[in-house]
A and B are shown apart, each in its own frame.
Chain A
């Protein structure tokens, strides 16, 4: 342990700690900007400078290691003045349009300006004049707002191994750009949106579809129907001032009615349906010698990744559409018919923890209902904005139930939101289908949690099935390289593009820390445990769907509406 003094307080920290870590231990807040708790140290913004006795120059707290007897001062006039000047210089390059910025109220630079009491900036405002990149349906880039912290680059390269972003130029002329300085759509970007979470400001954000939603609500002829992804409920609470998981599902449902949805249904319904289709697809592949290992296909960021980097492995992908798109195809066919509503009048909105879902909904192959299956996708953050705009007090809002025929769900569907959840849900069903026995303990706890790659072997009456689960695309890459080399021991692989699975999705409330993602995972398994039905094949409304409409998993109607195919993206700049 190393003993140091910070602002006169003694603190003992492990060797190799930084001043920032030591300060956190004694509850001293040092402002930061480029620092990210789950990333490498960058020390390029210099906002966290401190005085260290014996040093002529100020030291960056995020990177300066402590030493025995070190004397640090974090709030002297010299330090405060230096920090203020640094932030003023950053602000001199930053558009002053906070009032209509997507990160208004959730911006680290805005917070710094407030903390450092910045009023009259002595530096002349010089906006760099870059074009905004709106080439993808999922994300925009607004380089003029970039503070060059490089956190997005690390999220894209280290966490996701996508490498869509890099630095162009040097010094004053440096800028974060997609490969070869092209638009995002021409880069290897898979639209996972992890760069949004990494960005401290509004330089990268989701393409909002709020206006289209409000226009649909305003039109009396249009019937606005929604589906909610499993990872949304527990995180939406964070958007409305509650603790993670605190908003009860039935109150959330009423909240959605309040903002204008005519029917509130659930993606969990098609998550259960996915398990029946995908589970049977796996069994068919195992029995008939189909391509193995089979990969899950729920995560559109992952699909984009596979189509970009592993086009030779597209046959391994389950042909099942994601739950969002299964829902979209059914809501304008099966549900419309059952409700006696013309599909032309239905405006299908999905609420997702994801920005890649916006791209997925726009895919030309996602029109099997004869219409655009999912008209728009709103992220958890956008729904949070709509809730705040409507001024709903969720503490006083009475509960309301889901609407019928595509609203029922099981615990198996709920856990889709966490890494390992799709696999666990599949195993709960596949076990009973194959063995004919009742699964007494439905909890496959070994495949839960935040480990990057998890694996298990499940004995199905003598049929041993090897499964693996990866979240974050850098982990997916490890499993894919194994498959490509012909050395994969697995039958079934679940991949989620985002850290922790959908709970850490690019459309979720902005969060820097993996710790928050772990809290959300805990909340999701708690929800599963609280439900009486926890196996997808026991979903009563899914049973009705098969009885009346689909008839059997992998049947004719299923193929028409619920399954898809994939394309080599043929990206040039990987």
Chain B
């Protein structure tokens, strides 16, 4: 893979390794080991440190993920509004548990902290797009948009 080409563009940006990781993840949906090693070389930091950056941010993942990443808010307002039931519906629809990826590589389920849409809870995001006031009954329709 040409991780080098993607990463090198950010070489002179302050804190560019984070930007570079986002760019890699945009293309591959996660940060493969080779990309982290390559970034360490390009930004002249130890691999242990680059790995530290890659695992610090919840938006970056070092595990392979599906094409569509669904995140469910696990903060208090969503929790009270029944996020657990939404989680159960998603797990049932997709046949995977939280933190897992479907066999066809299409969907990954993850938790997230508050996404700032507390006016209508519970909230999920698909590839960053928020869906507010979600009920278990709506899940099938939301998933259909991405199937």
Contacts and interface: CB of A to CB of B under 8 A. Distances in A.
A169 to B, nearest CB: 5
Given A179-B51, A180-B51, A181-B51, A166 B36 contact: no
Contacts of B46: 157, 163, 166, 179, 188, 574
Interface in B25-48: 33, 36-37, 40, 46-48
B49 interface: yes
Interface in B41-100: 46-49, 51-52, 55-58, 62
B12 to A, nearest CB: 22
A163 B47 contact: yes
Contacts of A574: 40, 46-47
A168 B37 contact: no
Contacts of A130: none
Given A180-B36, A572-B37, A573-B37, A168 B47 contact: no
A73 to B, nearest CB: 36
Nearest to A181: B51
Interface in A175-219: 177-181, 187-188
Contacts of B52: 166-168
B48 A164 contact: yes
A165 interface: yes
A357 B96 CA distance: 48
A166 B51 contact: yes
A249 B1 CA distance: 61
Interface in A525-574: 572-574
Contacts of A178: 48
Contacts of B51: 166, 168, 177, 179-181
Contacts of A168: 51-52, 55
Interface string A294-331: 00000000000000000000000000000000000000
Interface in B98-117: none
A187 B48 contact: yes
B49 A163 contact: yes
Nearest to A574: B47
A188 B62 CA distance: 20
Contacts of A181: 51, 55, 62
Given A572-B37, A573-B37, A179 B56 contact: no
B48 A166 contact: yes
A56 interface: no
Given A572-B37, A573-B37, A179 B55 contact: no
A180 B56 contact: no
A170 interface: yes
B104 to A, nearest CB: 27
A496 B55 CA distance: 34
A309 B36 CA distance: 19
Contacts of B56: 167, 169-170
A166 B49 contact: yes
B9 to A, nearest CB: 23
Q: From A179, A181, A188, A572, name the one whose CB has the most chain B CB atoms within 10 angstroms.
A: A179
Contacts of B55: 167-170, 181
Interface string A72-86: 000000000000000
Contacts of B33: 180
Q: From B33, B40, B47, name the one whose CB has the most chain A CB atoms within 10 angstroms.
A: B47
A206 to B, nearest CB: 22
Contacts of B57: 170
Interface of B: 33, 36-37, 40, 46-49, 51-52, 55-58, 62
Closest 8 CB pairs of A and B: A166-B48, A163-B46, A573-B47, A166-B52, A179-B48, A179-B47, A168-B55, A167-B52
23 contacts: A157-B48, A163-B47, A163-B49, A164-B48, A165-B48, A168-B51, A168-B52, A168-B55, A169-B55, A170-B55, A170-B56, A170-B58, A177-B48, A178-B48, A179-B48, A179-B51, A180-B33, A180-B37, A180-B47, A181-B51, A181-B55, A181-B62, A572-B37
Given A157-B48, A170-B56, A180-B33, 7 more contacts: A163-B48, A167-B52, A167-B56, A169-B56, A179-B48, A181-B62, A187-B48
